[in-house]
Amino acid sequence: MTPATTTDPARPFGRVLTAMVTPLAEDGTIDLSGAQELAAHLVDRQSHDGLVVFGTTGESPTISDGEQHAVLEAVLDAVGDRAMVVAGVGTNDTAHSIEKAQSAARLGVHGLLVVTPYYNKPPQAGLLRHFTAVADSTDLPVMLYDIPPRSVVPIEVETLVRAAEHPNIVAVKDAKGDFGALMQTLARTDLAYYSGEDMLNLPLLAVGAVGVVSVVGHLVGTRLAELIAAVEAGDLARAREVNDELLPVYTGIFRTQGTIMVKAALRELGLPSGPVRPPLVDATEEQVAQLRVDLAAGGVVL
């Protein structure tokens, strides 16, 4: 299935993507119709070029492979003809990651997100071998996900330079916050960078990122599109205005774990979300009350 969105080689996954939550029923089972409704809302009403399904925000650690397969299929059916559907397939097991990548490819996803293997702390040689092995396993474009706060191990510049030699490794979702390393990588490769940390969206875009893989995009996708357009137009004053307006939203969603607060916000908006799965816990009444204040300050009408 080919998305209607025209792929720009400089922006292989588009500009605005959100790491979509996985809607659950109240009993904790997967809500497939809710996933389709939410995906359509994000694409049709929140200006999304694509969706990352089963990144961390999608609760990938606690969603089984079979459940992930079903959700990917449902989202593809809902929006795959008009948006990039990117499957999060990375784990800390190379063989398992390859299996997930090939399964997602057979479904017809448009790209893969591959996170740095977590917990087992591989050396850089292991990271490179892992990434290239997954990239070898399908013909799909791959976005690496560099997030040392969760994986402990950062992807070093030299590793990124070597990974970029692989024709399928075309992008990085950056949640490392190391601007020196980012600029060195941009200078030495053709990798497309996407901001993976909402509070750093503007500075990452200003130094060369081409888009965002956002969490707050569930709520403010059209304004993120406006932010990116302002940067691309060289209007940094307008970009800062938009970013300043969004700061309360960034703050509100990340007062605790992002999935928890986004699901709470979606419930407030009457959109599919449902509970989180353990070991996450749902937002408290006090947290929801503060979230309402934060979102109102950021212009999100509940």
Does residue 152 sit within a domain? Answer: yes
Q: Which amino acid is at 206?
A: A
| Residue-level pLDDT at 302 | 85
User: 255 to each of 131, 269, 274, 291, how far by Cα in Å?
Assistant: 32, 19, 19, 9
What are φ and ψ of residue 203, in 5° steps? -60, -35
Q: pLDDT at position 285, please?
A: 98
Find the helix or strand (DSSP H, E) in which 8 lies: none
Does residue 118 fall inside a structural domain?
Answer: yes
Q: Which residues are annotated as catalytic?
A: 145, 173
Residue 218 lies in a domain: yes
Does 254 reside within a domain? Answer: no
Q: How far apart are CA 75 and CA 50, in angstroms?
A: 11
Q: What is the pLDDT of residue 279?
A: 98
Domains held by the chain: number: 1
Q: Looking at residue 167, what is its pLDDT?
A: 98
In a domain, 91, yes or no: yes
Domain of 21, CATH number, reads: 3.20.20.70
Which helix or strand (DSSP H or E) is residue 259 part of? helix 258-268
Q: Is the pTM of this model over 0.75?
A: yes
Query: Among 237, 241, 225, 294, which residue's Cα sits nearest to residue 265?
Result: 294
Instruction: Give rounded-to-5 percent helix, strand, coil for the chain.
Output: 50, 15, 35
Amino acid identity at 46 = Q
Which SS3 state, helix, strand or coil, does residue 83 take?
Answer: coil
User: In 3D, which of 99, 98, 30 has the Cα closest to residue 70?
Assistant: 30
pLDDT of residue 8: 83
271 domain residue, yes or no: no
Domain assignment present for 58: yes
Answer yes or no: is 266 within a domain.
no
The residue ranges of the chain whose pLDDT is under 70 are 1-2, 4-7
Binding residues for pyruvate, by number, are 57, 213
Residue 7 has what pLDDT? 64
Three-state DSSP class for residue 115: strand
In this predicted model, what pLDDT tens digit does every residue of 64-91 receive, in sequence order? Answer: 999 999 999 999 999 999 999 999 999 9
Q: 83: domain range?
A: 16-245
- The residue among 276, 274, 217 whose CA lies nearest residue 34 is 274
The encoded tokens of residue 106 equal: 């057979």
The neighbour count for residue 230, using CB atoms within 10 Å, is: 20
Give the residue ranges of the annotated binding site. 57, 213
